[in-house]
């Protein structure tokens, strides 16, 4: 990945891709044992909501980890790409499109 420099602008309302992680973890099974499961995550930055209430106010950007269905989701992405995310019914990212 290297040292990439990129600009995150509050004028852009979408996600900016900043990285990924993949691996395996131990998941509990119904019989009390465990099994290895694969995981795939991407990391993105986006502007925080401008929602303000008596008990809440935020400003700036938020960093988020999003679960993905496979490593193919980020295969053509570069750190700093502006992206649109598409989700399945379990809120996992199934596709990412570069948003130029």
Q: What is the CATH number of the domain that holds 66?
A: 2.40.50
Question: What pLDDT sits at residue 98?
Answer: 94
Question: What pLDDT sits at residue 52?
Answer: 83
Q: Judging by DSSP bridges, how do beta strands 15-28 and 34-47 pair with one another?
A: antiparallel
Question: What pLDDT sits at residue 1?
Answer: 47
44-63 confidence digits (pLDDT tens)? 999 887 778 899 888 889 99
13-22 confidence digits (pLDDT tens)? 889 999 999 9
Place of tokens 């938020």: 62
Domain-located, residue 38:
yes
Inter-CA distances, 91 with 37, 70, 76, 87, Å: 18, 13, 21, 5
Domain-located, residue 6:
no
Number of domains in the chain: 1
CA 67, 80, 96, 60 dihedral sign is: positive
Q: What is the pTM of this model?
A: 0.82
Structure tokens at 17: 């891709």
Average pLDDT of adjacent 10-residue blocks, the chain of 100 residues:
70 91 93 93 90 86 95 94 96 94
How far apart, in whole angstroms, are the C-alpha atoms of residue 45 and residue 8?
A: 8
Structural domain harbouring 73:
15-98
């Amino acid at each position: 990945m290297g040292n990439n420099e990129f600009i995150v602008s509050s004028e852009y309302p979408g996600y900016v891709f900043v990285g990924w992680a993949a691996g395996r973890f131990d998941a509990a099974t119904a019989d009390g044992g465990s099994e290895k499961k694969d995981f795939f995550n991407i990391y993105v930055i986006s502007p925080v909501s401008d929602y303000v209430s008596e008990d809440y106010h935020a400003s700036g950007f938020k960093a988020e980890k999003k679960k993905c269905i496979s490593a193919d989701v980020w295969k053509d992405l570069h750190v700093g790409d502006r992206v649109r995310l598409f989700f399945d019914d379990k809120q996992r990212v199934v596709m990412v499109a570069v948003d130029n």
